[in-house]
């Protein structure tokens, strides 16, 4: 897998704690961050799947605007 370099800005306190935890666990900070990113992606996989549906995001935005204008249906009016 090709790797890229990126910068993460942390408060000094978070960086200090992360270094301490990494040292205690015998891990590299990079490995910890990659693990956290993997967990985050897995938790949000459903969102990624929904966003891959053609026009899904646009339909959501249009629906939100319709609701803001007072349109849309009540929950009791929706099909099961």
Q: Show me where the domains of the chain are located.
A: 12-70
What integer pLDDT is reported at residue 80 of this predicted model? 66
Contact (Cβ atoms closer than 8 angstroms) between residue 50 and residue 56:
yes
37 vs 35: CA distance, rounded Å: 5
Q: Model-level pTM greater than 0.85?
A: no
Q: Which two tokens stand for residue 76?
A: 């009791």
pLDDT in tens, 11-59: 999 999 999 999 999 999 999 999 999 999 999 888 888 888 888 888 8
Q: Please list, in sequence order, all residues whose beta carbon lies within 8 angstroms of the beta carbon of residue 41, skipping any fewer than 6 positions away.
A: 48
Helix, strand, coil percentages (3-state) for the chain, rounded to 5, are 65, 0, 35
55 vs 20: CA distance, rounded Å: 45
Contact (Cβ atoms closer than 8 angstroms) between residue 72 and residue 66:
yes
């Amino acid at each position: 897998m090709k790797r890229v370099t990126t910068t993460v800005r942390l408060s000094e306190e978070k960086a200090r704690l992360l270094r301490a935890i990494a040292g205690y666990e015998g891990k590299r900070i990079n490995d910890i961050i990659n693990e956290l990113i993997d967990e985050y992606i897995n938790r949000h996989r459903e969102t990624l799947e929904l966003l891959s549906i053609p026009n899904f995001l646009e339909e959501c935005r249009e629906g939100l605007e319709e609701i803001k204008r007072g349109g849309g249906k009540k929950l009791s009016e929706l099909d099961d």
